[in-house]
Amino acid sequence: MDDRGWWDIGYNFLIGEDGNAYEGRGWNYVGAHAPGYNTQSIGICVIGDFSDFLPNSAALNTLNALIDCGVSLGKISDKYNVIGHRQARNTECPGKSFYEYVTNLPRWTSKPIPIHSNTNGISSSTV
């Protein structure tokens, strides 16, 4: 964070396997998690290495609840799509196992469209 000159971490929220959600930039500030997508997404990081296994049920339940909360608050469009972090930048995140899980979600899209300008509303979530 300090090395990059950021005032906060890049993600809007983080979720621990303790089932707690931690606020990074929150709902009202543009994240720095996915260049080309930041202005139209909420970056949610589930903390851990999920290359060989999925996050536990506490983390997944909190992830779903956080997305539902964003929709009910009007911070995430009810027509949102979900993408894996690796679809937006060169990273292994969210790990092989978790990415396979994400690609089976009904809201997952295989072809996210990068948005380079700021427009109203948030249309997608990066997991």
d(Cα 94, Cα 97) in Å, to the nearest integer?
8
Architecture in CATH of 13-104: 3-Layer(aba) Sandwich (3.40)
- The pLDDT tens digits of the residues spanning 60-119 come to 999 999 999 999 999 999 999 888 887 887 777 888 899 899 899 888 888 776 655 443
DSSP string for 54-110: PPPHHHHHHHHHHHHHHHHTTSS-TT-EEE-GGGTSSS-TT-HHHHHHHTTSTTB-S
Cis peptide before 114 (omega within 30 of 0): no
- Domain residue limits, the chain: 13-104
Res 10: pLDDT: 85
Res 14: pLDDT: 96
d(Cα 14, Cα 55) in Å, to the nearest integer?
13
Which residue type is seen at 100? E
Res 78: pLDDT: 93
Report pTM: 0.79
